[in-house]
Amino acid sequence: LHTDIAQIQAVSTDGRRLTLTKPLWFDHHGGGWQSDDGKWEIPKYSAEVGKLNRNIVIQGDDRSKNEQFGGHMMFTLGHLHVPELNTLKVRISNINVRRMGQGFKLGRYMVHFHLAGNVSGSYVKNISCEVGYNRALAVHGVHELLYENNVVFNVRGHAIFIEDGTETNNVLR
């Protein structure tokens, strides 16, 4: 698969057609399918598209790419780890996170919820993670987190990482 990053110049009034500032570099073919007996049909499909830019940007510095070493956001109770208290509330929305994460460093991910227990009421919504050096989202020892409508592009490793498999009632959509 080849990916292109493009900038939208205009959107048609019916919202079904985009005009880009320059042509795409790669061909992206879409097509449909129909069963031989004509009973089943899948209409023409199109490419996945995600909006990367946001008004608020949290990013590593200019050296991050060469060093594979950007910032990271870790949300944890630290030494106050009493999961039943549900004291950690994190609400992140509508930001761009780029040049983040730290390559080859365990636990240094772009966005990392770490051993915080029940975080009900916490969410990560409508963010874009772009150019990451170590996973976009890590959920470790966390329950009741809402993660929805996010875009992940060009990230090393798993885009979304459920670390132990013991995490429960998290919603990823």
CA nearest neighbour of 157 among 122, 133, 131 = 133
Task: Compute the CA torsion angle 154, 97, 124, 18 (nearest 10 deg).
Answer: -60
How confident is the prediction along the chain (173 residues), in pLDDT tens digits per residue?
A: 688 899 999 999 999 888 999 999 988 777 777 888 988 887 777 667 889 999 999 999 999 999 999 999 999 986 655 656 667 899 999 999 999 999 999 999 999 999 998 999 999 999 999 999 999 999 999 999 999 999 999 999 999 999 999 999 999 99
**DSSP SS3 for 30:** coil
Structure confidence by residue, pLDDT tens digits, 113-141: 999 989 999 999 999 999 999 999 999 99
* Per-residue tokens: 157: 């490793």
- Give the whole-angstrom CA distance, residue 64 versus residue 48: 28
Look at residue 54 in the predicted model and tell me its pLDDT: 95
Look at residue 77 in the predicted model and tell me its pLDDT: 84
- Give the whole-angstrom CA distance, residue 24 versus residue 4: 6
Look at residue 61 in the predicted model and tell me its pLDDT: 95
Note whether 44 and 32 are within 8 A (CB): yes
Look at residue 27 in the predicted model and tell me its pLDDT: 82
User: Which residues, listed in sequence order, are joined to residue 42 by a DSSP beta bridge?
Assistant: 33
Q: How many CB atoms lie within 10 A of CB 112?
A: 23
Cα 82 vs. chain centroid, distance in angstroms? 28
Q: Quote the DSSP letter at residue 121.
A: T
